[in-house]
Structure 1
Amino acid sequence: MEALSDTCRDLLARSRRYGPLYGERLANHLPMTLIALDRMGAPADAMERAFDVNARRLQLHDGDVGAVVDALEWLGKGRNAGGLDRFFQESVRRDGLDAVLRGWVPRLLPGVSASAFHCLIRLAYAIDAGDRNETCAALAYWVMEHVTLDLAADEVDEAPAAIAARLARALAGHAQWDGIIIDRMRQAARHPAVAGTAIQPATLDLRQVAQFALGAYHAQEDFTLLHTVTACHAFRVVAPYAGDPRRALRYLWEAVVVASLTVEPAPATTPAPAAGIDWQACMAQAARATDAHVVKLCYSAWCESLVYVDPRYLAIAARKLA
């Protein structure tokens, strides 16, 4: 794990004045954006510009709303980021960061969809960066925004794509989904065509989930589907702390497939092969971007391409940059 640049560390420290959410429960992407830019080799001026652009919309940290003795008492309450942050800081000082992660990630993974996957993603970036303060902030964020989909664990002898297609057919003609991504996901999970239905493949590995997410986003440029790709990257980073790998993966699949069900079919926007651009050029362009989703998508796509060697990752990154 390479150390972050001094510029990135300084900007991360400045970013901690802001809370994990802003506006109507939207995620603060600033820390993740800074880390992704640094990993892609962004110069100091590019990171400072991205900080300025993204910080404008953020809200100041709520501070310590109340002392936290047991973080589980604040699970899903949507507040007290400051108190929860301090709880995890003290836990890390007492027990060590590795022990805290191994103790808390398995508890939080049933809520992998929380804040449209951003709690998981922010924690993965913090682990990638090796930043203790950011890790504590990410854990606090996940606790306060924790929400579960509560779907059946029943298994079926179908491939992931076949399960998704079956559920999509069953949802045909559904009422309009409302709210932000996580609201729509919860509505889809409660729909009679999904709730109580077998959605778990009898055999499943992370490659299958990642390929499903990549295939869906490659075929349709959609904001929700983008998050399933970045979530698969994040899960891979967090997985060493997840405990039972089979249990953890099934929570990821549950969230990814439900997210895909909230996306209305649209004309295909499948990108052509990324002719004339390679990863070096793509990363150089992404390292100058200020849009958080462009930066994070390109970084995740690059990281995933190193593992799965699939040219579609470069194609989706090039399309996003365009």
Structure 2
Amino acid sequence: MDETTHHTDPDTSGTLDEALERLHSSGPERDGWLSNHAPMAVEALVRNGQAAAVHRWLDYYRAKLEDMPDRFAEVTPANWQEALGDPRRIADWAAYFERETAGRPWRDVLAEWWPRLLPGIAGGATHPVIRVGHSVRTLLTAEESGPRVRELAHALGYWAARHQPLPPPAPLAPVRTAGAALDAVPRVPDQTGGILARLAQITAFPQWRGAVPAGADEARAGLAELVEAAVHRYARYGHGAPVMLVHAATAPNAVLRTLPALPRALWAPSVGAAWAASAAVTAAYSPAEAAVLPAGYGASLTAEEVFARAAAHGDDHTIKFVDTALDVGGAPALAAALRSVELNPPAL
């Protein structure tokens, strides 16, 4: 059921469609497994009034793009289960979802695949679901176009190819608020390896009560609480892994952005997956000690000024985190956004 109000398309210049068309010959990864952040970053730039910066940013990012990999074996309605989680079939999955979204409404395709993909939300270090969230936001709040629907197809295909269920963690003590739950997540013992090695060490999560909502409205409220808590927490803990810890906020926010495009019956099951993703990133990368920020840190800046700094800074993770922080709003979120600009190395 759609509860989204359509707004004036923020991109009257056509920049987003041009950028997406430029990007769709590229694959979703480079160097074997690093994610292509360009479709997500350009959507955030356009959304936040920085469309004029998009093509310059893409010129910088071009060196990080690789062609879409070769096809491996066609994905069909009969064999999709065996193809799920097979990164050799990234191009096959993209083609599958291009066919699906060409043949029927994108919302129907999304609703069919959302419950199939959710258990693998941690796949690709949560980048596939984040890419889906950026794509759905545009489709819900702006005009539909071929490149925008194709972007959703590529995002879903990336998620299907990198689908990776987490092992079910043992339950720890119940915790009432999302912020307290994130604080109670045990850090993995060995924080020297990559994300796969870290995720493999996760054994238990606190039972955040918001992860099992009673209904759709409670699910939306719980997700908003989780996103806010993760954004606020970044200000104090982001120094531990400035790039990776942004995903503790951007992954659940991608789910929150997608809810209005989904049947309400799918909202409640979405919260547990979002919590698992946020908690997993927190467990894998959170430092032992919190930073202490100066009183009034970032208080003199507006949301527009902070995003302009992120756009000038140019780092893709920073752009996306600041975009999520502005969804949360308020002084603590702006402080976290500014912190991400300062912690991550500038790209431009």
**d(CA) in 1 for partners of 2:128 and 2:190?**
28
- The equivalent of 1:129 in structure 2 is 138
Whole-Å Cα distance in 2 between the matches of residues 133 and 13 of structure 1? 9
Q: Which amino acid aligns with 1:128?
A: R
CA deviation digits over 1:37-62, x for unaligned, max 9?
11111143x21111011121221111
CA RMSD of aligned residues (A): 2.4
Deviation at 1:283, TM superposition (A): 2.6
1:292-313, CA deviations, whole angstroms, 9 ceiling, x for partnerless residues?
Answer: 11211111111222xxxx3211
Unaligned runs of 5+ residues in structure 1 are none
CA deviations 1:21-40 (Å, max 9, x no partner) are 11141110011111111111
1:203-251: per-residue Cα shift (whole Å, max 9, x none)? 4421332233123212122332211111222111112327432321011
Counterpart for residue 84 of structure 2: 75
State the TM-score, normalizing by the size of structure 2.
0.80
1:268 alignment partner, one of 256, 279, 291: 291
Indicate the residue corresponding to 2:94 in structure 1.
85
Which residue of structure 2 aligns with residue 104 of structure 1? 113
Give SS of 2:123's match: coil
Number of the residue aligned with 2:174:
157
User: Are the equivalent residues in 2 in contact too, given 1:113–1:182 (CA < 8 A)?
Assistant: no
Quick check: 49-58 or 118-127, which moved more? 49-58
The one of 303, 325, 347 equivalent to 1:279 is 303
Q: 1:257 aligns with which of 279, 286, 295?
A: 279
Change (3 A) 1:288 1:153: same
Q: Which moved more, 1:268-277 or 1:69-78?
A: 268-277
Please report the TM-score for the alignment, with normalisation by the length of structure 1: 0.86
Describe how 1:11-90 pairs up with structure 2 within 5 A: 11-44=19-52, 46-70=53-77, 71-90=80-99
Map Cα deviations across residues 74-107 of structure 1 (whole Å, 9 max, x no partner): 1111122222111112112222111001111111
Q: Which runs of 4+ in 1 moved over 4 A?
A: 152-156, 160-167
Does the 8 Å CA contact 2:57/2:314 hold for their aligned counterparts? yes
Q: Does 1:247 align with 2:260?
A: no
Counterpart CA distance in 2 for 1:35 and 1:165 is 31
Whether the aligned pair in 1 keeps the contact of 2:228 and 2:328 (CA below 8 Å) is: no
Residues 80-229 of structure 1 aligned to structure 2 (within 5 Å): 80-130=89-139, 131-152=148-169, 156-159=173-176, 160-168=178-186, 174-179=189-194, 181-184=195-198, 186-189=199-202, 191=203, 194=204, 199-204=206-211, 205-221=222-238, 222-229=242-249
What's 2:218 paired with? none
Output one character per residue of 1:143-163: Cα deviation in whole Å (capped at 9) or x when no partner.
000001131585853234555
Q: What letter matches 2:334 in structure 1?
A: L
Distance 1:175 1:319 in 2: 26
Structure 1 contact 115–182 (Cα < 8 Å) conserved: no
Residues 6-34 of structure 1: CA deviation (Å, up to 9, x unaligned): 12211210111211111141110011111
Task: Give distance in 1, aligned partners of 2:318 and 2:192.
Answer: 25
TM-superposed CA distance for 1:176, in Å, is: 4.3
Deviations 1:154-211 (A, max 9, x none): 585323455555552xx68x244521x3442x2232x4xx2xxx63333442133223
Q: Number of paired residues?
A: 306
Query: Could you tell me whether the CA contact under 8 Å between 1:125 and 1:234 is conserved in 2?
Result: yes
Question: Is the alpha carbon distance of 1:182 and 1:34 closer, same or farther for their aligned partners in structure 2, counting shifts above 3 Å?
Answer: farther
Secondary structure of 2:75 counterpart: coil
State the identity as a percent: 25
What is the rounded CA distance, in whole Å, between the counterparts of 1:33 and 1:201 in structure 2? 31
After superposition, the Cα gap between the structure-2 partners of 1:250 and 1:281, relative to the gap in structure 1 and judged at 3 Å, is: same
Question: Do 1:216 and 1:225's aligned partners in 2 also have CA atoms closer than 8 Å?
Answer: no
**What is the deviation of 1:127?**
1.1
Deviates more, 1:123-132 or 1:201-210: 201-210
Contact 2:122-2:164 within 8 A present in 1 as well: yes
Shift of 1:282: 1.8
